[in-house]
Structure 1
């Protein structure tokens, strides 16, 4: 079985992190290590990591830097990057190992909204699948990658938003980057809080501004201002 390092950036996500670590602990084939990079430097987060046998790293609250720090610490042959609020499929490590041993440099899971769902969810999931295939899958889709290829591609950008964009571009230039049919479930709370279409339009505006050259640091200020 592939030696896999799981890397989780978090920032005051204690309850969600505990649920995710509980899922990882129950896996049929557990990862080599779990590294939680805590942008809040929280004592509670440290205690949760100790409870579930995860490594804890204190960091500044910048997701790109957190991911880079976790990757530099990791010892695995491959890395799996997860957000704290995800729900995982039953046996994801076997799926990842199969894809990587068959020659892919990395890949990502299919985005699916968790419960409670609303009718726009299915439409948005299809749109996200198309965006991911022809553009960039984001960090909430469980991006995984071989260790050497990750560093060859330059790793995550040290940005608070869109940190995976240059990484995905680099990976695709180095080999096959596999989209999976297997879903990973994403917490829909932000879409519920703001409205499904309003939240989607806000995300698209950020992506358009990023593509037009707006700094990720500036975009992050608008993103944080709308968080529930």
Structure 2
């Protein structure tokens, strides 16, 4: 954060929110010892899932700070975040995952940034693994592996659908190309994030374009540790249908189809 940027606290929708503004320089004590890892959680109307994500953060080794970028959520997400983790800073702004992640990163003070989706849980030791990876100066950023929250007999998937989900978790076709979706919990050096201009302000695949930018500044690594994203979208749409759609969209992106055109084929218009 630039010395002329300060956090301005305001009341919005019944909760305390932070926005970034310009005023007097921060005192030296606020700049001398920033938390090592800043965890940014973009959350749009995630009152039902934000708690589990934050609980998984609370189990990590310090130092870290948590910033929950709620956009213009109106379902109590901000209040739920503050109840679960009172130390979390809630950042209000416009909706859109790229914008929310950039808004959350703006007031962050850590040298390392982790972007955690609101419906994704970190495994124990995740921040230690992240720190170890970025101890190598040749590494610009990276991500984790995934294991979805499948529960045989209760998750609504058929045996075939569940097997298809396990196949999707590996996504080896993406690792071969050194790309990753944001549900893998992307992390990056702050210096690299600033050099690449943050996440591109686009309606879809801001994560893939961000990974492409990270690779221009160093190696992008896949940690041998699993985060747990929610499988709710696969439950709603169908495991096979959702995965085939994702694969088709990724293929189109990979050959240069613009995000605005891809968005027309993406049914979730409230993506946050």
Q: What is the aligned partner in structure 2 of residue 37 from structure 1?
A: 69
Name the CA shift for 1:139/1:77 in 2 (closer, same or farther; >3 Å). same
- Contact 2:72 2:95 survives alignment (8 Å): yes
* Larger helix share, 1 or 2: 1
Alpha-carbon RMSD across the aligned residues, in angstroms, is: 2.2
Q: Deviations over 1:131-155 (max 9, x none)?
A: 1341420110011111101111232
Counterparts of residues 10-25 of structure 1 (less than 5 Å): 10-25=43-58
- TM-score of the superposed pair, with normalisation by structure 1: 0.89
Runs of 4+ in 1 over 6 A off after TM superposition: none
- Are the aligned partners of 2:35 and 2:109 in contact in 1 as well (CA < 8 Å)? no
Secondary structure of the structure 2 residue equivalent to 1:185 = strand
Matches within 5 A, 1:201-212: 201-212=244-255
Q: For 1:43-100, what per-residue CA distance to the aligned partner results, in whole angstroms no more than 9, with x for missing partners?
A: 6222123221211111222111111111112110110001011121111111111111
* Alpha-carbon distance in 1 for matches of 2:267, 2:63: 32
Matched residue, 1:113: 148
Count of residue pairs the alignment pairs up: 225
Distance, in Å, in 2 between the alignment partners of 1:147 and 1:112 is 27
**2:129 paired with 1:95:** yes
Checking the alignment, whether the CA contact within 8 Å between 1:112 and 1:125 is kept in structure 2 is yes
Please point out which of 140, 143, 156 is paired with 2:186.
Answer: 143
CA deviation map 1:203-225 (0-9, x unaligned): 12222333455442453354344
Q: CA deviation at 1:183?
A: 0.9
CA deviation profile, 1:78-137 (whole Å, cap 9, x unmatched): 1000101112111111111111112322111012222226121222223x1331341420
Partner of 1:46: 78
CA distance in 2, matches of 1:20, 1:31: 17
Q: Normalising to structure 2: TM-score of the pair? A: 0.75
Q: Which runs of 5 or more structure 2 residues have no equivalent in the other structure?
A: 1-33, 153-161
**Stretch moving more, 130-139 or 194-203:** 130-139
Say if 2:204 and 2:260, in contact at 8 Å, map to a contact too. yes
- Equivalent-residue separation in structure 2 for 1:61 and 1:2 (angstroms): 27
Q: Measure, in 2, the Cα distance between the counterparts of 1:151 and 1:91.
A: 26
Question: Is there any run of 5+ residues in structure 1 with no aligned partner, and where?
Answer: none
TM-fit CA distance, 1:18:
1.2
Name the SS for the 2:221 alignment partner: strand
Counterpart CA distance in 2 for 1:215 and 1:39 is: 24
